[in-house]
Homo-oligomer: A and B are copies of this chain.
Amino acid sequence: MKLAQLAAAIGARVDPASSANLEITGVVGIEHARAGELTFVANQKYSALAQTTKATAVIVAEDFPAIAATMLRSKNPYLSFAKAMQLFHPAQKYAPGVHPTAVIHAAARIGANAHIGPYVVIDEDVWIEADAVLLAHVVIYRGVSIGHNFFAHAHSVVREGCRIGNNVTIGNGVIIGGDGFGFAKDANGHWNKIPQPEPVVIGDEVEIQSNACIDRASVGATQIGRGTKIDNLVQIGHGSTVGEDSLLASQVGIAGSTEIGNRVILTGQVGVVGHCKVGDGAIVTPQSGVSGDVEAGAIVSGAPAVDHKAWLKYSAVLPRLPEMWRAMRGMVKKDVE
């Protein structure tokens, strides 16, 4: 693909313009790029490598200092990189057709052009719109409804009655709609099961990755808003809601009945307790433990999570604590004398 054509497709401009006819064969990481390839500077750590890369072209920000290689200048270099990757790596196609080993209930309705892989099991009263891809061993329990262009990787499961929007992708081993963790203690100290009849409801353009679990609820529903992306091994508890365009990184855990807003970023291993609210646009840094409401736009850290800057400051002092303790004991002692 010629640079000019590529630049137009990814929202960038060729600098210098005279390089517009150069040919690009692929997109690679900056450490490995060779002549004919396109690369990018997505992390400031790698800026220096741009000076010496053998790549034919580099996607950079509008104000990036000039380098020897041709630049594709972009207002949003990371987005341009994503689009370049999409150009060179279009999603794999799966031919329409139902594998003869798929077990599909007579009362299930599957839309046009579906690819249904081997050993898929679809129970009664399931409704899946057009252009679905269900790979091997996917199991859809009864009463599920799913929009168009659904993609389910091998071994994913959607439990009874869940509702999934359009253009949703679920990764391998994902469990949508497993029972919420709800039990009530009786006089003998035994835990009595609280039925969890209510579904998980997932908006359009959501992606949920490997082995993540979104639980169904006893009352209400568990909801994931349009455009939210959920990483591997994430847990979302019963009756919680996540807004739109949020990111939940790997191993995040959200307890029950909690509300996560729009455009929230929960980074790796973050935990959020039940019955609280995380406001729109909030960011929680890795491993932090949210124990109450978080204001919109806040950045919080630590366990219990506090303002990120406050956490940075007190974390820097923590290793000084023994010294402080000794000093204080000295002062107190002297004070007493």
Binding site for B on A (CB under 8 A): 27-29, 31-32, 43, 45, 76, 78-79, 81-83, 85-86, 88-92, 99, 101, 103, 117-119, 121, 135-137, 139, 141, 153-155, 157, 159-160, 171-173, 175, 178-179, 181-187, 189-195, 197, 205, 207, 209-211, 213, 215, 218-220, 227, 229, 231-233, 235, 237, 239, 245, 247, 249-251, 253, 255, 257, 263, 268-269, 271, 273, 275, 286-287, 289, 291, 302-304, 306-307, 310-311, 313-322, 324-325, 327-328, 331-332, 335
Write out the residue numbers on chain B whose beta carbons fall within 8 Å of the beta carbon of A316.
Answer: 322
Question: In the assembled complex, how far is the CB of residue A153 from the closest CB belonging to chain B, in whole angstroms?
Answer: 7
Besides the contacts A79-B185, A81-B194, A314-B321, what 20 more A-B pairs have beta carbons closer than 8 Å? A27-B219, A29-B219, A78-B185, A79-B184, A85-B194, A119-B119, A155-B173, A157-B173, A159-B172, A171-B179, A173-B211, A191-B229, A191-B247, A232-B235, A286-B291, A311-B319, A314-B319, A318-B321, A320-B325, A327-B328
A82-B184, A210-B178, A229-B183 are contacts. A189–B263 as well, Cβ < 8 Å? Answer: yes
Please, how many angstroms separate the alpha-carbon atoms of A303 and B288 in the complex?
9
Write out the residue numbers on chain B whose beta carbons fall within 8 Å of the beta carbon of A187.
Answer: 76
Write out the residue numbers on chain B whose beta carbons fall within 8 Å of the beta carbon of A249.
Answer: 181, 255
Please, how many angstroms separate the alpha-carbon atoms of A245 and B191 in the complex?
7
Max chain B C-beta neighbours (<10 A), residue from A76, A175, A179, A313: A175
SS class, residues of chain A in contact with chain B: loop
A189-B245, A289-B286 are contacts. A175–B178 as well, Cβ < 8 Å? Answer: no
Please, how many angstroms separate the alpha-carbon atoms of A257 and B29 in the complex?
11
Write out the residue numbers on chain B whose beta carbons fall within 8 Å of the beta carbon of A320.
Answer: 314, 325
Report, nearest first, the 7 A-B pairs whose CB atoms are least far apart.
Answer: A178-B210, A82-B184, A29-B219, A89-B195, A314-B321, A175-B210, A181-B231
A209-B179, A255-B249 are contacts. A318–B331 as well, Cβ < 8 Å? Answer: no
Task: Report yes or no: B85 in contact with A195, Cβ–Cβ below 8 A.
Answer: yes
Task: Report yes or no: B173 in contact with A175, Cβ–Cβ below 8 A.
Answer: yes
Please, how many angstroms separate the alpha-carbon atoms of A29 and B318 in the complex?
41
Question: In the assembled complex, how far is the CB of residue A99 from the closest CB belonging to chain B, in whole angstroms?
Answer: 8
Task: Report yes or no: B103 in contact with A118, Cβ–Cβ below 8 A.
Answer: yes
A82-B184, A155-B157, A327-B328 are contacts. A287–B271 as well, Cβ < 8 Å? Answer: yes
Task: Report yes or no: B251 in contact with A253, Cβ–Cβ below 8 A.
Answer: yes
A-B contact pairs, 24 of them (CB 8 A): A29-B239, A79-B186, A88-B195, A89-B195, A99-B103, A117-B121, A119-B119, A119-B121, A121-B136, A173-B173, A173-B211, A181-B209, A183-B229, A191-B245, A210-B213, A213-B232, A213-B250, A215-B232, A233-B233, A273-B286, A302-B303, A306-B319, A320-B325, A324-B328
Closest partner residue, chain B, to A287 (CB atom): B289
Closest partner residue, chain B, to A85 (CB atom): B195
Task: Report yes or no: B178 in contact with A171, Cβ–Cβ below 8 A.
Answer: yes
Write out the residue numbers on chain B whose beta carbons fall within 8 Å of the beta carbon of A232.
Answer: 175, 178, 181, 213, 215, 235
Max chain B C-beta neighbours (<10 A), residue from A32, A160, A185: A185
